[in-house]
Amino acid sequence: MSAGLLSLTVLAVAIAGYILGRRRAVSVAGGDARKLHSLPSYHGQSVFLFTAVPAFVLMIFWLLAQPVYIENRVTALIPNIEADDAAARELAMADVRRVASGLDLAIAQGALRQADLDTLQAGATDLRGKLAGVGVALGADVSQYTFEAAREYRALKGSLGIGMALAVLAAAAVGFVFARSRISVAFRARNVSESFVIAMLIGASLVAVLTTFGIIFSLVFETWHFFELYPARDFFFSTTWSPRFGGGSSLGILPLLWGTLYVSVIALLVAVPIGLLSAIYLSEYASRRFRTFVKPLIEILAGIPTIVYGLFALITVGPLLRDWFAQPMGLGNSSSSVMTAGIVMGIMVIPFVSSLSDDIINAVPQSMRDGSLGLGATPSETIRKVVLPAALPGVVGAILLAASRAIGETMIVVMGAGAAARLSMNPFEAMTTVTVKIVSQLTGDTEFGSPETLVAFALGLTLFIITLGLNVIALAIVRKYREQYE
């Protein structure tokens, strides 16, 4: 029984449980629902939850554990693999899985019979030809042990699948019977379903937190691998970045970090003044009608796909800067430059600054403005000395959000600033950023064992730590300077 069908069955049982539980609650009370502690629907709900939730949780864990178990059992059947050669083992297992799914297909199409399979010898029959006949092409003839492993794989998968179906259905049934037997006039079904809801909410937030930890863990793990192959000192302090997949590459992060910071700083220099000033205009001076009209227009900027910004950088801004600024000033003749990417990226993050700051400035109580205006301050004095200091934490938060968007941006950089890793002060020269290099190291035919590939994880982790550090510093600054109203 497949997982999908099984879920539907459990769901059907749970819905039946709801209806039956509700009905039983009413009949226990002698037809008068007012005698019950909880409304009949809560009794139904508790039966539903007790039937469905444990069964689904069991199913999820089973589905997670099953492949690991099968893998362990089947790997043992493959003889000539050194226990610690992960790559060879992975390769052999891929073969086994492919043959197994080929056999499945062959049986389903009638090219093979289940009964024949047990007596079949891989050497005696042309298994490769048979599988090719049903559309599964294999790279080499199937060896006897691969075939046996595949057979074992299929058998285990089949029996475990049935086992799972039985266990899940049993869990659903037990839950159903247990919950139904608890129904009585005094049973606090309302409180039970309330605590169930709390448990589900906790579960949901745990998933989010655990995912974050999972991401960090995988990054740290691969980074560790990288530093075993490549000296950390060279990575952090070398000023050249020239990966060669033939070996002998030099993987210094400094040019990439420099590019990232340079582009982001230019982006923020564009976005923060424009965004903040427009937020101040919109929230303090503009009429209500103008504001409701213009604010969504600015927010549209955030909805444009970054690749479109990239095109804008490549076709319009880049040549414009080259022809009007870089060449006349003798600063180079490249149309991809840090300036191009920075300016376009700045335009992209304007709405992050303006829209959030606008909301935050609006949240400053009117009584603050009245107090300042009542003392004879002009509107702009009021904004500078009272409103902005009170809104500071939120404004810094908005800027941080924009900064992390800018640091993580890839597409605009590729198209605007190019892909050449370089350490230079000239803003009209092509440079590149950490994210762009992560992409270029991981795309194409690569194996996950060389430092040239694994460096991507080290880059990712470094970037992550830098943005985390920025956040921490900004929070500390805000805490020191914030002016808290109430």
Partner 1 sequence: MNDMRIAERVVDSMESKITARGVQVFYGQNHALKDVDVDILDKTVTAFIGPSGCGKSTFLRCLNRMNDTIDGCVVKGSIKIDSEDIYDPKVDPVQLRAKVGMVFQKPNPFPKSIYDNVAYGPKIHGLTRNKAELDEVVETSLRRAALWNEAKDRLKSPGTGLSGGQQQRLCIARAIATSPEVLLMDEPCSALDPIATAQIEELIDELRSQFSVVIVTHSMQQAARVSQRTAFFHLGYLVEFGETGQIFTNPKDPRTESYITGRIG
Tell me which residues touch partner 1 (CB under 8 A).
Answer: 287-288, 365, 367-378, 381, 385-386, 389-390, 483-486
DSSP-assigned letter for residue 251: E
Confirm if 271 and 357 have CB atoms less than 8 A apart.
no
Nearer to partner 1, 332 or 389 (CB): 389
In the three-class reduction of DSSP (H, G, I as helix; E, B as strand; rest coil), residue 286 is classed as coil
User: Cβ atoms within 10 A of the Cβ of 452, count?
Assistant: 21
**Which residues, 6+ apart, have CB-to-CB distance to 259 below 8 Å?**
338, 413, 417, 421, 422, 431, 432, 433, 434
Nearer to partner 1, 191 or 367 (CB): 367
Q: How far is the CB of 259 from partner 1 (least distance, A)?
A: 40
User: Cβ atoms within 10 A of the Cβ of 129, count?
Assistant: 10
Phi, psi of 85 (to 5 degrees): -85, 90
Q: What whole-number distance in Å separates Cα of residue 247 and Cα of residue 253?
A: 17
Q: How far is the CB of 364 from partner 1 (least distance, A)?
A: 9
Nearer to partner 1, 242 or 378 (CB): 378
Q: How far is the CB of 476 from partner 1 (least distance, A)?
A: 19
Nearer to partner 1, 167 or 286 (CB): 286
User: Cβ atoms within 10 A of the Cβ of 294, count?
Assistant: 15
Q: How far is the CB of 369 from partner 1 (least distance, A)?
A: 8
Nearer to partner 1, 3 or 373 (CB): 373
Nearer to partner 1, 389 or 408 (CB): 389
Q: Which residue has the tokens 């908005």?
A: 398
Nearer to partner 1, 34 or 479 (CB): 479
Q: How far is the CB of 482 from partner 1 (least distance, A)?
A: 8
Q: What whole-number distance in Å separates Cα of residue 454 and Cα of residue 450?
A: 6
Q: How far is the CB of 365 from partner 1 (least distance, A)?
A: 7
CA angle 411, 417, 421 (to 5 degrees): 105
Nearer to partner 1, 34 or 288 (CB): 288
With residue 241 as reference, give the H or E element that holds it. strand 241-242
With residue 440 as reference, give the H or E element that holds it. helix 434-442
Count Cβ atoms within 10 A of the Cβ of residue 291 and give its class: 0-12 exposed, 13-18 middle, 19 or more buried. Answer: middle
State the DSSP string of 337-360: -HHHHHHHHHHHHHHHHHHHHHHH
Q: How far is the CB of 368 from partner 1 (least distance, A)?
A: 6
Nearer to partner 1, 287 or 443 (CB): 287
Q: What whole-number distance in Å separates Cα of residue 304 and Cα of residue 348?
A: 8
Nearer to partner 1, 310 or 393 (CB): 393
In the three-class reduction of DSSP (H, G, I as helix; E, B as strand; rest coil), residue 125 is classed as coil
Q: How far is the CB of 284 from partner 1 (least distance, A)?
A: 11
Per the DSSP assignment, residues forming a β-bridge with 251 are 241
Q: How far is the CB of 453 from partner 1 (least distance, A)?
A: 52
Nearer to partner 1, 350 or 360 (CB): 360
Q: How far is the CB of 54 from partner 1 (least distance, A)?
A: 51
Q: How far is the CB of 290 from partner 1 (least distance, A)?
A: 12
Q: What whole-number distance in Å separates Cα of residue 407 and Cα of residue 31?
A: 65
Tokens of 22: 């509700």
User: Cβ atoms within 10 A of the Cβ of 354, count?
Assistant: 30
Confirm if 295 and 282 have CB atoms less than 8 A apart.
yes
